[in-house]
Amino acid sequence: MPNEQISIRTRDGDCPSHVMIPAGTGPWPGVILYMDAGGIRPTMFYMARRLSDAGYVVLLPDLFYRYGPYGPFVPKEVFAGDFRVILGPLMTTTGNDKAAEDTAGFLAYLDTRADVAGYTFGAVGFCMGGGMALAAAGTYPDRFAVAASYHGGNLATDAPTSPHLFAPRLKAEVYVAAATDDGSYPPAMAERLETTLTQAGVRYDTRTYPAAHGWMMPDFPVHDPAAAERGWDDMLALFGRTLQGEN
């Protein structure tokens, strides 16, 4: 099952990316995976491969491409110190708005692949990528059938690029997976996001997992295997229904 390494042209440069392809013969639905702040590393390949093995062509772009070469980082080592000093400079090179702009190139690339089925895709993001997935789906509403955020932070803030501001344009079904222990997505923020989605008429669902922020990532200190498996079950059921027509 191949992992293709490619480069996608965006407005700001060339974005190194990886494509995970299922076994067998396609075409298959396409999904864009928006990474967390830990960047491209073995765990992100694992996440993309696991999703691809369920029957999707998964595009994993390196959203830190504007920064230049880095890492790969080992999150358990990064979080043992001041992670803001290490990851902060990379995070400032991207954001919800820039990731949404980059998505034009990602969609154009997927459109060239004969093994990708359909015109609408899925988006899923983890931590930093959660808000990016929602922003991308709101920026290109006709191109996404579903957008999922897993332990995404700052999903409804006063920032001009806050993900909740994209709600009026969303046509995708939205899934927000939160954690009981997550200072970046407190209950008041969750209420603000859900109110905005409801007012915009967005079809959405939320679930709060009994875990900490980042629980889905196998290389995070807070990784919770049991909660992660429930998260995967929910994700694959959601994508199966919205992208593969499963009941």
> Tens place of pLDDT for every residue, the chain, 247 residues?
578 999 999 999 999 999 999 999 889 999 999 999 999 999 999 999 999 999 999 999 999 999 999 888 888 888 877 888 888 898 999 999 999 999 999 999 999 999 999 999 999 999 999 999 999 999 999 999 999 999 999 999 999 999 999 999 999 999 999 999 999 999 999 999 999 999 999 999 999 999 999 999 999 999 999 999 999 999 999 999 999 876 4
- 3 touches 49 (CB < 8 A): yes
Under CATH, which number does the domain 3-243 receive? 3.40.50.1820
pTM: 0.96
Q: What's the rounded Cα separation, in Å, for the pair 133 and 140?
A: 11
- Residue appearing with tokens 């928006």: 34
- 147 touches 176 (CB < 8 A): no
List the chain domain ranges: 3-243
Q: What's the rounded Cα separation, in Å, for the pair 45 and 163?
A: 25
Mutual angle of helices 225-243 and 42-53, in 10-degree steps: 50
